[in-house]
Structures are given as C-alpha cells and as structure tokens.
Structure 1
C-alpha cells in the first residue's frame, strides 16, 4: 500500500462515527486524569453495601462519551482478564437511553476482546431484567443521563418513577454523564436540583469536563452558539479554518453539505422539530423555499446509526437522530418556531409551532411548563448546532431572523 493509499485509509477510519467514540481514541490530560480517578473510585467502592455515585458534568463536545467508553473498556478488561485485581469478575453494564447511540456502542464492541454486546443496554431493559432475576450490578455507567425518564412510561414498560433512582438501587457504583442543556422532553425533565435530590441520598462526588473537543474552532464560535441558545445574537465569528456560514437558500446549503460529505464524509442536514413527522411507516418531509427533503426514516433494526449510513445524505436528521454524535459538517435548518424579536433584539421561541408535541406532554409535578417548553426547544438548537467538528451552516426559515443573520454575514464579509 503506497503513502497516498495509507493516508486515504487513515482519513476513512478517522471520519467513521465508530472511531470517534473508540475507547482507544487518545484522551486529553484532563480526560486521562479523570479516567484514573474514576477507576480508583470504582475499586474503592465496589465492595460497599451502600451505592455510591460519581457524576461527570460537561457541555456538548467536552468528550464525556469517549471518556466514559474508555473507562468502561478498562473496567471490562480488569473484570475479564486481571485475576489479581479488585474488579476481577465484577458484573458491569453500560447504559444509554438513545437507540442510535446504543447501535454505535454495540458495533464498537464487536471487534474488542473484553466487550460483549450484552454489556450495553437501554435503562428500562436493565431495570426490568435486574428485577426479574433478583440481581444487582456492580458498576453501572450511564451515558447521556439527561435522557433518563423522570416519570413512569407504561407504554415503554417502565413502571417506576425515575430511571436513575431505580438504577442506583440496583447497583453498587454508578457513574453518570449529565448535561442539563440537552434535556429534550418533558417526561425526562431534569435540572441539577432534581439530579442532586436523588444522588444526595447516597455518598457521591462530581467532576466537570471543561475543554471543548468536538468543535475545532476559535472561542468566538463557541461563544456565538452559547449566546444564541440564550436568545442573544452576537456578531458573527471571524473568518477561520472552521467553516461558519449563514445561508439564504436551503437548497444551496444542502448542496454544500453534499459536497462536504463527498470529500470529508459524516456531513448531514438536520432541522429543528418544526415539520410534521409520525412514526407510522410513512415518509414525511421538511419543506422550505424550493426545498423538500425527507425526514430520517425510523429504522430501529438497522445495524448502523443514522449518521453512519450513506443513504441518509438524502434525509434530514432530527435532534433525536444526531444527539451524542460527531459530524464533520452540519447544516442546521432553524424552523418556524425560531424567530427574531426586532424590538428587543433577541431570539423569539414560539412553542406552538414546534411539531414535537410528544415532548410537551404535561406532568403535574412540573411548574411553569411554558418556560420548560421554550427551554426544550433551545436545548434542541444547542444539540444541533454543536454537532459539526469542522463546520456549521445555518438556514433560518423565519424571514426576520434570516434577514438579521444575513445582515451580520454582510458586515462580516461573508
């Protein structure tokens, strides 16, 4: 194999979604130090009679999932291969309440000697299995804990009141990753106060990851996104290697994404949940000016996650499709629920135009539901805008918002 072929192969591997969560991916000094602390924490507490909890906080893109997978691989290596280690023969599980990410983790496990597919589960399956067998796990790692249910869901066979609370009861050590900015549904409504109400019943400790790894951009890009999801619009970031663009035409944005996908792979169009969609086997479409593209087709039995499949370049992904994933370039359609208040110079959110009404199913224990609805939409925007490693493209459906952002583009010389 010549040098050019080796470089092409290297790029193909590094652009695969499976590589981006590999337990062998190099960790930063911050991640490595925390990994060592977590392993020590597990060894010190796995024999205790009372459950202990460790929480990892961090914004999107701070490397929480890749760290957690690296920790889990070391735990399973010690459990299955190190006879003289305190963690030998421990019964450990990795939990994620996200079907697309679960596919990715299971696919990663296929080629690694100390992983098994059965090590990776959805929370309800884990809880029901443990109750049925009358067992407990030793160490449970929970990725994307902000997606855990905080009320019963009989449709999905969860009969208790809180996923996390039940899993702590069924474990000796629980390691969780949590980001309240990624809460997307009323039935999984979380904030830090609610989280600590549960974990403060047990010995616990917390750590924070702060370094941004996903978005390869200057700080002004990170700050622009952070302020946007707080409804403030900053001047656009300065020109840099990270490709940040505002589009006035969704067709042109889609064409650009297809070009990036052809050269860099893992480039996709996504949209806020402002266009009709049902899980009834039919096709539904995101429609804008001269633009019509199918929503992602629900394929629970597909081996690979949506972001990895070549055919999905002809689909629009939702927040549920791409949460937790790295894309190289992402094109975000901001739908009709996201507009601009000229008088107050800020983003306006209209939850009545948000089509994901299942996210808004009311619950008696939640105060100020309208504010939470708005926060859910803002959280979804945050998830969508923080997917791209090398580029973020935005098309605003709302004419006033589009005019505002395009005026900033002209000022910025785009």
Structure 2
C-alpha cells in the first residue's frame, strides 16, 4: 500500500518545532538585542550566518512568532504595539511562511512579504515597520531590477532607512545571481556604521548525513574534487548513477514511499522564460523544467512535480526527503581530474546580468564560477534522507562512480 507523504515543507520550519539549547539561547539573544535597540537612534542589525541546513529558518520562525505574540498580546512588553514584518525574496518559501501563519493565532499572512512589496508600501506611507526579520537575505537585490519593480540601488540599504531593528539571515554560498550579488565582506561593510551583532550557526540539521559527506560537498563546491567518503551516515542514502533515467525511477520510488522526493538539475539545458516547456534530456531521461507555480502550494508539494525537473529557484530553502541531482554540462573534469566550470555551457542567462559596479573581467569570471558552484551547493544540500547523483560529463560520472574512500 502506498504511504502518504508525511513531511510537508511547512512542518520543517514551523515555530512548533522543538529547538536545541543553542537555538533557544540564540532566539533569546536576538530578542534581547531587539528590545535593547528598539528605541535607540538609527537602525540596529543582527546578522545570523550559517550554511544551508544549519537551522537558520527554524530560529527565525520561532523568533518572529515570539515577536508577534509580544506585540499583540503582552501589554507590558517593550514590543507591545510594534509593527513587525517577515521578509523573504523567494516566492515559493513565502508560500510556506504564509501557510504557517494560517495555523498560528498571532501570525497574519500579511506579516510575511516580499521585500519590494514592503518597500513600496513604506514609500507610499501605508506602513512604518519597527522590526524587520529577513530570511535568505543573500537573495536581496543589490542593484536596481525593473523585473522586480525595484528601482533603488540596494534593498537592504533601503530597508535600513525604514526600521529600528533588522534581523537578517545570510549565507554567501547561496548567492545565485549577479543582481543579488553579496559577500560577507560587502554585508559587513554595509552595516558597519550601525549598532550590530552577529552569530554563526555551524551544526548541520537538515541532512541526516555524516560530517564527512557534508565536508565532501563543501569541498566539491569549492572545486576541490576528491573521492566520496565511504561513511555517509547510517541512515543516509548516497548513490551515484550511470543512467539518469534509472536515478529518476529510484526517486519516484522514494517519493511513493515517503513523499517530498524530487529530481533537480543545474543549468546547462534549454531554458527560456517564454511560458513554454523546455526539457532536460540525458539519454532515456526526458522531463520538462519546473513550470511557474501559480498556486499557493510550494512546488515540491505539488504531486505533478514528480514529473518535472526542479531548479535552484524552486528548491532553494526547502527540505526534500530524497533529491536526485543532474550535474549538467557546465560541470566537468579535465584530463588531470580537476573540477572545471564551463561558463559557455551555462544557460541561465538571468544569473549573469551585467552590473555597473563590477568592471574587472577577471573578477567577473570568478564571480560567475562562484555563482554556479553556489547553485550546486544549494541543490546538493536539499536531501534530508538521501542524495542521488548523475553527472552529464562522462569523466566526472566515472570519477564519482569509482572513487570512494
């Protein structure tokens, strides 16, 4: 009998989830920082750093729930009557937070906004925020973007002029586009004039994998290829496939058993924003890219998306139980078994849009390669229970299949 999926995306970042002692102390530390700076001149910024899967979003979910409980129910709290918003520049993750709001009495769906939407409301004098909580701040635009109706120079700079306290989550290894190009150094320089504090989460919560496998992924996404570890964790399923269609079938079986299992791919296959279907083809494997999701349900929770290929734009920030990754044409091994990034084979033209403040050709090349490697990092760390790999490049595929220590 087919089991029904039990791990909805909302359950993985709900404020009802238990916190570790470290996470609970962190929530209290941020609350104390917030109340301390609520009535001081100028904005104060608390930055939470952490790699993918280190529990940043769960901390924010608990934090924002406590902020809103205090603002709306605790008359003697310094936060009483404050106007607070949770921002996320990712439409699929925004759906998850709004769904969570529907089941918590002191969270309203309107509390959760895209940055541009709130910036425009502030500009019109419709709202005046006190506290802003920004998840995935590495997705904030760092230049004007007419497509997103943002005409300022930097979304975080704009928001700093509007609120008393801003809490941001940041991971520079998840920066994916030139228009939202950030580094820790750039962020630190921006907030340096203001009262600020930082904290870095390091423990991997998402992946039920060994530290050895997490270290291997981190090395791989910094172009340091080495044999896969033999010890990947007693409850983690790592497989390398010679055939993408066989990998798809394995993912389908996992999805039927436990749900939230999907095929994803790097760029490198036909992809044009023209409303039509474009396909990822690898031998007998032939599936369309993810389609724009007009529903309120996150992409990975739609049953039909088992027959699509997910991208970084639908998967970033989400937990999947099992993820099958196609490493596309931009990723290969040279004759000396060095990992190389082929910029000419990257088909996500939106990722590399020119920006006026980056003019050094050598720096631009390195940034583009970094964006591609970041996309691989995002995809490889989606799977809670398992990671399945298939590489387009024969040399890379053979290396992954035959090199284990």
TM range (shorter): over 0.9
Q: Using the TM superposition, give the Cα deviation of residue 387 of structure 1 relative to its aligned residue in structure 2, in angstroms.
A: 0.3
* Partner-residue secondary structure (3-state), 1:197: helix
CA–CA distance in structure 2, aligned partners of residues 50 and 372 of structure 1: 33
8 Å CA contact retained: 1:135, 1:170: no
Give the aligned partner of residue 278 of structure 1.
272
Secondary structure (helix, strand or coil) at the match of 1:171 reads: coil
CA distance in 2, matches of 1:155, 1:329: 33
- Which residue number in structure 1 is paired with residue 288 of structure 2? 294
Q: Distance in 2 between matches of 1:270 and 1:228?
A: 18
- Cα-Cα RMSD: 1.3
Q: What TM-score does the superposition give when structure 1 sets the normalisation length?
A: 0.94
Give the SS at the match of 1:25. coil
* Cα offsets for 1:70-100 (capped at 9, x unmatched): 1000100111111111111110000000010
Trace 1:285-324 onto structure 2 (pairs within 5 A): 285-299=279-293, 301-324=294-317
Map residues 286-365 of structure 1 onto 2, 5 A cutoff. 286-299=280-293, 301-343=294-336, 345-365=337-357
Gaps of 5+ in 1: 1-7
Matched, 1:375 2:367: no
Which of 32, 38, 47 is 2:39 aligned to? 47
Per the alignment, residue 127 of structure 1 pairs with 119
Secondary structure at 1:34 match in 2:
helix
The counterpart of 1:255, out of the listed 238, 245, 249, is 249
CA deviations over 1:98-134 (Å, ceiling 9, x no partner): 0100011111111110010100001111111101116
Deviations 1:379-405 (A, max 9, x none): 000000000001000000011111111
* Counterpart selection for 1:115 from 96, 107, 121: 107
3-state SS of the aligned residue for 1:57? strand
**How far does residue 264 in structure 1 lie from its aligned partner after superposition?**
1.1
Distance in 1 (alpha carbons) for counterparts of 2:64 and 2:388? 35
Kindly indicate whether residue 187 of structure 2 is the aligned counterpart of residue 195 of structure 1: yes
2:204 paired with 1:212: yes
The equivalent of 1:399 in structure 2 is 394
Cα distance in structure 2, aligned partners of 1:12 and 1:31: 28
Task: Look up the SS of the partner of 1:214 in the other structure.
Answer: coil
Aligned length: 398
Residue in 1 that maps onto 2:382 = 387
Give unmatched runs, 5+ long, in structure 2.
none
Residue 29 of structure 1: CA displacement? 1.4
Aligned to 2:222: 230
2-side partners of 1:194 and 1:106: how far apart?
A: 30
Contact kept in structure 1, 2:5 and 2:257, CA below 8 Å: no
TM-score, length-scaled by structure 2: 0.96
SS of equivalent to 2:373? helix
Q: Please report how far the alpha carbon of residue 281 of structure 1 lies from its aligned counterpart in structure 2 after TM superposition.
A: 1.7
Match of 1:89 among 74, 81, 90: 81
SS across alignment from 1:270: strand
